[in-house]
Amino acid sequence: MTRWFRSHWAEEDIWFYFEVDGDGWVTRQVELQGPLEKPIAAASLTEWEAAQQAGTLADYEATFGVTAEVPIHEWDPHDPPELTVAEFEDVWLTARSVCQARARSTRGA
């Protein structure tokens, strides 16, 4: 069963938004930093794997970041606030747009 939640890392003032599959693997992850919650990552495990196979992993990670590399049960935050799929999708779509725009501007497009 897929679930969605968020967790805050106070040391870096980053909100992590996670989509986690039934086996505990992060399938999508968004990172928002600072009081303005600036998107700094919006990565998909499926896309990351495809980029790795295609030899474009560095470009993918530079644009979207990465997802957590271990199952959630190995580091599960204590009582994270659950999200609905709609709440996650809202954050996901916004963060993806920002990451893509930032990548286009750094490439000079």
User: Cα separation of 56 and 50, whole Å?
Assistant: 8
* pLDDT tens per residue across span 23-57: 989 999 999 999 999 999 999 999 999 999 999 99
User: Cα separation of 37 and 23, whole Å?
Assistant: 29
How does the average pLDDT of the chain come out, rounded? Answer: 92
Q: Note the pTM of the prediction, 2 decimals.
A: 0.90
32 close to 38: Cβ distance less than 8 angstroms: yes
User: Cα separation of 20 and 31, whole Å?
Assistant: 15
pLDDT number for residue 108: 67
Residue 5 scores a pLDDT above 60: yes
